[in-house]
Amino acid sequence: MNLSKNICLTAVLLLIASAGLLYPMHSSISELEGGIEELKHSTEVESTVPQQLAAVQGQLNELRLSKDDRTFVLCADTPEARNEFETALQEQIRAAGLSRISMDREAGFGGTDVPSFTISLEVEGDAFELHGFLQGLESLKWLTRVLFLQIYPGDLERRIDMQISVFLESDS
């Protein structure tokens, strides 16, 4: 084999060896460059997110601030929240001096689209006690509505039937 063939063979072998060494690096560099292009595109697409975030956060803060100004809240739709309301209601009955005869709870919509549950209440007491109870009910943080109120004949102590609708939070 003459000199030129030997050198050519050596050159080819060295070329192959060099390619074998450098090609993996070239591949990983190409892969990284591709990844960077994709990421650049993603960051360009998502570049408006911070502004949107700030805007929505502003709206939310504004809404929450205005909500904080309101006296009432909707009762959470959980057993614990309902029990809490009933406990508060019984406390108001007791504080007003009314005598409780019965108290039932049933689900319903209280004449509106908003979900609610209704407390049917039978109590006994005079007009002042009833007035005090109604004031106490209106002072509770929960949003309620007296759907029905009936005072039966009697002396000072009278039987009173009430249906109180308690409005619930809804995600819809």
List of residues contacting another protein (CB under 8 A): 3, 6-7, 10-11, 14, 17-18, 21-22, 25-26, 28-29, 32-33, 35-36, 39-40, 42-43, 46-47, 49-50, 52-53, 56-57, 59-60, 63-64, 66-67, 70, 72-74, 110-114, 116, 127, 130-131, 134-135, 137-138, 143, 145-153, 167, 169-172
CB-based contacts of 121: which residues, under 8 Å, 6+ apart? 89, 93, 100, 102, 103, 160, 161, 162, 163, 164
Give least dist CB 38 to another protein, A.
Answer: 9
Helical residues (DSSP H) of 97-144, grouped into ranges: 127-139
Give least dist CB 161 to another protein, A.
Answer: 9
CB-based contacts of 136: which residues, under 8 Å, 6+ apart? 92, 95, 96
Give least dist CB 81 to another protein, A.
Answer: 14
Q: Give dist(CA 116, CA 76) in Å, integer.
A: 10
